């Protein structure tokens, strides 16, 4: 069994250190081992010993004003030893500005003011949130799913993304570089030709598993549980999860159907820093996991399936799933989101999933350790990925066609990138070709009209998006780009006026089919921000109620 994760408190004031140690043990000793250190150097020595013994570290709390090594400096160095541990700075009110600056510079997760009395209000809630987020990402040794495969296998990459998208703790073992992988595979009935192989916590082994097999092992439902729902939400991005939370909490029998994993495109974001209420930011996966958990707790049913068709029968909406099953519902909320556009350059098809990835592909970041990686695109998603990858890669190059990032990226991200030494922007450039045998090895750049061939470990693509609505545009009206038309657009534009048949005007988020609503990035005119997607998903449930009450 793995030892309890460690919480380490650091303060040179023995009285304060004793107080924080007492409060931490009172609340967390059942699930965590609480350690303390009287200086930054002593704490670093403790961390190195914990690392040598391969013990998990969950949380660091360090006082800012310590002689010899301030708290921020200690937390920066500690990040190199335990990059995934949550980091909290203890500070006096006078040091608040320094603490806020350190959120960006030292990538702190939070800061707390001293004194924290009563801890039930000023200490424990924050630490519980941080520890829950750490537990969701933590991959314990020899527990959960162990996935053996080849680093450059597209199927291995797909399985890693699927498991991480559902916050399933798994251990990745590269067959070519990890001796443990060969020993572990030898205990099964499979060989290297059968990879990737998933070994589950209960000892069962799946060779080259498909989604259905993994879903079954994860205990997720494979078929809808009811014959009729009040509302079915198609898509589990931020808008879909918000619809599910509000639908279920307001008494509607709610089903949410998602073909990939919760969070949508936002769920792949390494760090969202401009979402209201999270001043230190959080990953898209954390946000999605919290919302999914909330929706299920409130009574929403989750189905990991793909909807392939939608039709209306006697006023009811009937959705056909990829398994062939049908779902009947009184109302539908389409929150299908968008997917990244593909990069059309020579050599990319053979390397997709083997060094070329669409979106942040956080599961591949560790494999880029001390290597050069390239990001194509200049939006916020590209900037967030660059900051995340800079933790691992030797150098991160952002390839953009324009002169600068100012036109497409938020100012806070541009400032962070400018302060990160190993991130370089390549303006007026584009990828001309990709080269490699079984994986990406070189990128060919058109850099201001000059051809350059550069070594590359990975290429991450963020070049705009297209709506995931191709399966439904034969039933509801879409614009020329495939975005779903809703509300006043259906009655004010003469091209679409004949599509609306009711005496009343369509509700704000209603499509041309009464009772079918659209929210989030796939809706025409929507703002591509997480907060607006959540707002639309919540608002859609209000209109569902109005429709059902007609």
How far apart (Å, rounded) are the C-alpha atoms in residues 309 and 318?
A: 8
> In this predicted structure, which of 247-261, 305-319, 481-495, 507-521 has the lowest mean pLDDT?
481-495
Task: Give the pLDDT band (50/70/90) at residue 92.
Answer: confident
Q: Is the bond preceding residue 281 a cis peptide, omega within 30 degrees? A: no
Quick: pLDDT tens for 237-251: 999 999 999 999 999
- Looking at every residue in the chain, the average pLDDT score rounds to 90
Quick: pLDDT tens for 414-472: 999 999 999 999 999 999 999 999 899 999 999 988 999 999 999 999 997 889 999 99
Quick: pLDDT tens for 13-35: 999 999 999 999 999 999 999 99
Q: What pLDDT is attached to residue 95?
A: 66
Nearest CA to 114 out of 15, 196, 240, 43 is that of: 15
Nearest CA to 236 out of 539, 533, 546 is that of: 533
Q: What pLDDT is attached to residue 143?
A: 63
Domains of the chain in sequence order: 6-137 (3.40.50.2300), 145-217 (3.40.30.10), 228-339+466-548 (3.50.50.60), 348-463 (3.50.50.60)
Q: What pLDDT is attached to residue 137?
A: 85
Instruction: DSSP letter for 501, please.
Output: -
Q: What pTM does this model have?
A: 0.72
Measured at the alpha carbon of residue 536, what is the angle toward residues 535 and 540, in degrees to the nearest 5?
Answer: 120
Quick: pLDDT tens for 99-147: 677 676 667 888 888 888 899 998 999 999 999 999 988 876 656 788 9
How far apart (Å, rounded) are the C-alpha atoms in residues 146 and 277?
A: 35
Q: What pLDDT is attached to residue 140?
A: 65
Quick: pLDDT tens for 196-216: 999 887 788 999 998 778 888
Task: Give the pLDDT band (50/70/90) at residue 149.
Answer: very high
| DSSP per-residue codes, 394-455 | SEEEEE-SSS-STTTS-HHHHHHHHT-TTEEEETTEEEEEEE-SSS--EEEEEETTEEEEEE
Instruction: Please give the share of the chain, as a percent, with pLDDT higher than 70.
Output: 96
Residue 163 has pLDDT above 90, yes or no: no
């Amino acid at each position: 069994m793995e030892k309890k994760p460690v919480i380490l408190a650091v303060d040179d004031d023995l009285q304060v250190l004793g107080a924080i140690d007492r409060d931490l043990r009172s609340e967390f000793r059942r699930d965590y081992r609480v350690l303390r250190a009287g200086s930054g150097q002593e704490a670093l020595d403790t961390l190195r010993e914990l690392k040598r013994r391969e013990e998990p570290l969950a949380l660091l709390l360090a006082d800012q004003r310590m002689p010899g090594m301030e708290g921020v400096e200690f937390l920066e160095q500690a990040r190199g030893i335990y990059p995934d541990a949550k980091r909290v700075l203890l500070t006096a009110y006078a040091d608040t500005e320094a603490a806020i600056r350190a959120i960006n510079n030292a990538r702190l997760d939070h800061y707390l003011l001293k004194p924290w009395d009563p801890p039930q209000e000023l200490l424990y809630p924050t630490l519980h949130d941080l520890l829950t987020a750490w537990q969701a990402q933590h991959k314990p040794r020899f527990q959960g799913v162990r996935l053996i495969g080849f680093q450059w296998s597209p199927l291995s990459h797909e399985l890693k993304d699927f498991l991480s998208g559902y916050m399933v703790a798994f251990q990745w073992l590269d067959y070519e570089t990890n001796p443990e992988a060969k020993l572990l595979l030898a205990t099964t009935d499979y060989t290297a030709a059968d990879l990737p192989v998933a070994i589950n916590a209960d000892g069962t082994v799946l060779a080259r598993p498909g989604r259905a097999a993994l879903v079954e092992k994860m205990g997720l439902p494979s078929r809808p549980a009811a014959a009729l729902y009040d509302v079915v939400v198609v898509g589990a991005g931020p808008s879909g999860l918000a619809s599910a939370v509000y639908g279920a909490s307001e008494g509607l029998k709610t089903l949410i159907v998602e073909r990939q994993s919760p969070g949508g495109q936002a769920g792949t974001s390494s760090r969202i820093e401009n979402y209201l209420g999270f001043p230190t930011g959080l990953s898209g996966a954390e946000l999605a996991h919290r919302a999914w958990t909330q929706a299920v707790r409130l009574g929403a049913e989750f189905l990991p399936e793909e909807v392939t068709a939608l039709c209306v029968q006697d006023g009811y909406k009937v959705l056909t799933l990829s398994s062939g099953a049908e779902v009947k519902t009184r109302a539908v909320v389409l929150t299908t989101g968008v997917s990244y556009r593909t990069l059309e350059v020579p050599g990319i098809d053979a390397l997709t999933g083997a060094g070329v990835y669409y979106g942040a592909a956080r599961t591949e970041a560790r494999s880029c350790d001390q290597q050069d990686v390239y990001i194509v695109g200049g939006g916020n998603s590209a900037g967030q990925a660059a900051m995340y990858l800079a933790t691992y890669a030797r150098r991160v190059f952002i390839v953009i066609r324009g002169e600068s990032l100012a036109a497409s990226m938020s100012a806070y991200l541009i400032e962070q990138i400018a302060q990160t030494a190993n991130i370089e922007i390549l303006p007026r450039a584009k990828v001309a070709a990709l080269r490699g045998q079984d994986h990406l090895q070189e990128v060919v750049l058109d850099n201001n009209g000059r051809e350059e061939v550069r070594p590359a470990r990975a290429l991450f693509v963020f070049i705009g998006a297209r709506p995931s609505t191709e399966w439904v545009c034969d039933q509801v009206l879409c614009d020329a780009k495939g975005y779903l038309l809703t509300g006043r657009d259906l009655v004010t534009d003469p091209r679409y006026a004949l599509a609306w048949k009711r005496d009343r005007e369509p509700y704000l988020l209603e499509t041309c089919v009464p009772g079918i609503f659209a929210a989030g990035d796939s809706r025409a005119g929507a703002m591509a921000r997480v907060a607006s997607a959540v707002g639309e998903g919540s608002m859609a449930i209000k209109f569902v109620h109005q429709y059902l009450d007609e």
